[in-house]
Structure 1
Amino acid sequence: MTTRWGITIPLDGVPLSEQRALIESLPDLGYTDAWSAEANGTDAFTPLALASVWAPSLRLGTAIVPVYTRGPATLAMCAATLAAAAPGRFSLGVGTSSNVIVERWNSIPFEEPFKRTRDTVRFLRAALTGAKVKADYDTFSVQGFTLGAVPEQAPPLFVAALRPGMLRLAGREGDGAIINWLSSEDVRTVAPIVREFGEDKEIVARIFALPDTDAETARGIGRWAISAYLNVPVYRAFHEWLGRDELTPMWKAWDEGDRKGAVAAIPDSVVDDLIIHGPAEYCRERIRAYAEAGVTTPVLAPLPRPGQDPAAVVRALAPKD
């Protein structure tokens, strides 16, 4: 059973400048970790920098920073700065992100994602020690970069992973994997691949949750979230690999341009598998099931419900009241 319990920050529905009291309360509620994400909201590093001061006992992590949207040297500098601000408490999670974020939103070619991630991890391993890096990687070259502010402790490196190739990369060259959009039973398929390279490899799972929400409302919100994510090619391929054939009607409708039909085609059973909802105690039991299946650090990612108080959500999902 895990002794770690994380949450995604910042919380939706509250301006970042007003989240201090909420983040300060996390350790007293039993949270050990705060992890950030980066898509189209806040950047990954600023909320963690604030949390490093507001709640200095929390471990902090990025889940994830895309390997395409910052240059290798800039990414090393961002990681080193936060590692210096929170010595021994910061972990860097990197990954490919998706063609939507990389190509459509940032106008960067989404090419050779496996190699780009591998090359970035190898570069960061060297750069974060302060070594001078002069190397031609398969997907980029770095000619003579030396990090000018080397942290006392280099942060652990985690790789966002879905299918076997990236899961093995996370285990072989990373300190562990970051996984998401899967059920607790799916963890039993994923975790052993990472741990082929050591039983001590950490597995961080982002788990989507709607506590204290009636089933109809939760499933409605969940369907929209699932349709937005699991039609993205990398996530679709992941669930095809997992054998989630129940999503075939959704994929078919989406391919035909029928967005409403795609949402409607998602079965209740899939929403219930992938998104935790219901009374708070039941949600906590579901979170513990991920830990029992092999997750080292569950990181809750609350899905916003109109009118719901973010502080109440934090309390509901906490391991203790």
Structure 2
Amino acid sequence: MSMRWGMTVPFNGVPLAGHAAVFTALADAGFTDAWSAEVNGTDGFTPLTLAAAWEPRLRLGTAIAPVFTRGPGLLAMTAAALAESAPGRFQLGIGASSPVVVGDWNAVAFDKPFARSRDLLRFLRPALAGELVDGDFDTFTVRRFRLERPPAVPPRIMLAALRPGMLRLAAAEADGVILNWLSSADVATALAETKQAGPDFEVATRIFLVPTEDAGYARTIGRRLITSYLTVPAYAAFHRWLGRSETLAPMWAAWQAGDRKGALAAIPDSLVDELIVHGSPAACRARVQAYADAGVTIPIMALMPTPELTSGGLPALLELIDGLGRTTA
């Protein structure tokens, strides 16, 4: 498949109502995709709905909509509405999310994440095609659900996956996989588990960018990101599987002991540089291209704040988007 070039939206510091110029700048710079996340900022669908209306050149995707925080019918309706708003341009990315997002923040039990992801994937496929769904799944039961407004072009469904079981499920039953928190050198390890996928199988990867030539600042941000994510059990297990147990053991030990400063200090520069893209726009673009060269068909940049962006406001953001775009490559 041809590679696309994605960016995470919305941008911090820019109100949703001001994103029309941002979406236009993305498309002008050669970005093909706008992808949203859903943690504790905006929901995953509202920014994409605005993009659907304001910039018809962009393809849209969620990375991810959690499988626990909406009921099956509501998630199908929400996805169908966006698919109707952007025919043929929307991809629905779903995933388990985390115990914090699901349990602590949304008061839903984070039980059997693999089974719930599999069941929702199996529900969404016929539901978004307009079929009647009536039956028992392992983690929920649906009685006589049919979309009143099924989209003319059902969205492709992608599954977020880290380790072999979920990667193989994505290859067997989804239209693509969404990877996260891995280096370009790790891509081959993940994709080795998706060999049974068909030729149209898509591979999206979220890539954290700190677009500054101040390496010290970038590594400080990178360390904070690493301790925020790689102490989560699922991501810790993922990096053990990738072979980073020895590298990350000091950080995990300090974190477990409640020593947050020690955990940050235990992360070597080399690991930050592997997992966090930083540098000039040209350097960042080259690092993102390495993911594509490794087999990623939709690299999705996720910009982190820098002093340059904070002080420069919207003009600085638009200039950066142009520098990161494919038209300048």
- With normalisation by structure 2, the TM-score equals 0.95
Provide the residue aligned with 2:121 in structure 1.
121
Q: Quote the Cα distance in structure 2 between the aligned partners of 1:158 and 1:236.
A: 23
Shift of 1:107: 1.4
Distance 1:294 1:3, change over 3 A: closer
Provide the residue aligned with 2:154 in structure 1.
154
Provide the residue aligned with 1:31 in structure 2.
31
Q: Quote the Cα distance in structure 1 between the aligned partners of 2:264 and 2:173.
A: 38
Equivalent positions of 1:276-295 (< 5 A) are: 276-295=277-296
Q: Quote the Cα distance in structure 2 between the aligned partners of 1:246 and 1:313.
A: 33
Provide the residue aligned with 1:313 in structure 2.
320
Provide the residue aligned with 2:103 in structure 1.
103
Shift of 1:51: 0.2
The answer on whether the counterparts of 1:302 and 1:313 sit within 8 Å (CA) in structure 2 is no
Q: Which moved more, 1:124-133 or 1:68-77?
A: 124-133
Shift of 1:288: 0.8
Equivalent positions of 1:85-96 (< 5 A) are: 85-96=85-96
The answer on whether the counterparts of 2:215 and 2:279 sit within 8 Å (CA) in structure 1 is yes
Q: Which moved more, 1:242-251 or 1:195-204?
A: 195-204
Provide the residue aligned with 1:231 in structure 2.
231
Q: Quote the Cα distance in structure 2 between the aligned partners of 1:114 and 1:312.
A: 41
Shift of 1:200: 2.9
Q: Quote the Cα distance in structure 1 between the aligned partners of 2:169 and 2:212.
A: 38
Provide the residue aligned with 1:84 in structure 2.
84
Shift of 1:199: 3.8
The answer on whether the counterparts of 2:8 and 2:35 sit within 8 Å (CA) in structure 1 is yes
- Given residue 241 of structure 2, which amino acid in structure 1 is its aligned partner? W
Q: Quote the Cα distance in structure 2 between the aligned partners of 1:24 and 1:65.
A: 25
Percent identical: 56
The answer on whether the counterparts of 2:119 and 2:138 sit within 8 Å (CA) in structure 1 is yes
Aligned pairs, number: 321
Q: Quote the Cα distance in structure 2 between the aligned partners of 1:212 and 1:99.
A: 33
Equivalent positions of 1:1-321 (< 5 A) are: 2-244=2-244, 245-308=246-309, 309-321=316-328
Shift of 1:2: 4.9
Shift of 1:62: 0.3
Q: Which moved more, 1:259-268 or 1:111-120?
A: 259-268
The answer on whether the counterparts of 1:9 and 1:47 sit within 8 Å (CA) in structure 2 is yes
Shift of 1:307: 4.7
Secondary structure of 1:197's aligned partner: coil
Q: Quote the Cα distance in structure 1 between the aligned partners of 2:2 and 2:293.
A: 8
| 1:102-127 deviations in Å (ceiling 9; x for gaps) | 11111111110000000000000011
| 1:28-87 deviations in Å (ceiling 9; x for gaps) | 100000000000000000000000111101110000000000000000000000000000
Q: Which moved more, 1:276-285 or 1:41-50?
A: 276-285
Gaps of 5+ in 1: none
The answer on whether the counterparts of 2:3 and 2:296 sit within 8 Å (CA) in structure 1 is no
Provide the residue aligned with 2:313 in structure 1.
none
Secondary structure of 1:266's aligned partner: coil
Q: Quote the Cα distance in structure 1 between the aligned partners of 2:240 and 2:82.
A: 37
- Given residue 327 of structure 2, which amino acid in structure 1 is its aligned partner? K
Distance 1:211 1:320, change over 3 A: farther
Q: Quote the Cα distance in structure 2 between the aligned partners of 1:133 and 1:38.
A: 26
Q: Quote the Cα distance in structure 2 between the aligned partners of 1:274 and 1:150.
A: 40
Secondary structure of 2:57's aligned partner: coil
Q: Quote the Cα distance in structure 2 between the aligned partners of 1:313 and 1:253.
A: 36
Q: Quote the Cα distance in structure 1 between the aligned partners of 2:325 and 2:301.
A: 9
The answer on whether the counterparts of 1:176 and 1:201 sit within 8 Å (CA) in structure 2 is yes
- With normalisation by structure 1, the TM-score equals 0.97
- Given residue 132 of structure 1, which amino acid in structure 2 is its aligned partner? L
- Given residue 320 of structure 2, which amino acid in structure 1 is its aligned partner? V
Secondary structure of 1:130's aligned partner: coil
Runs of 4+ residues over 4 Å off in structure 1: none
Shift of 1:151: 0.4
Secondary structure of 2:14's aligned partner: coil
Shift of 1:316: 2.9
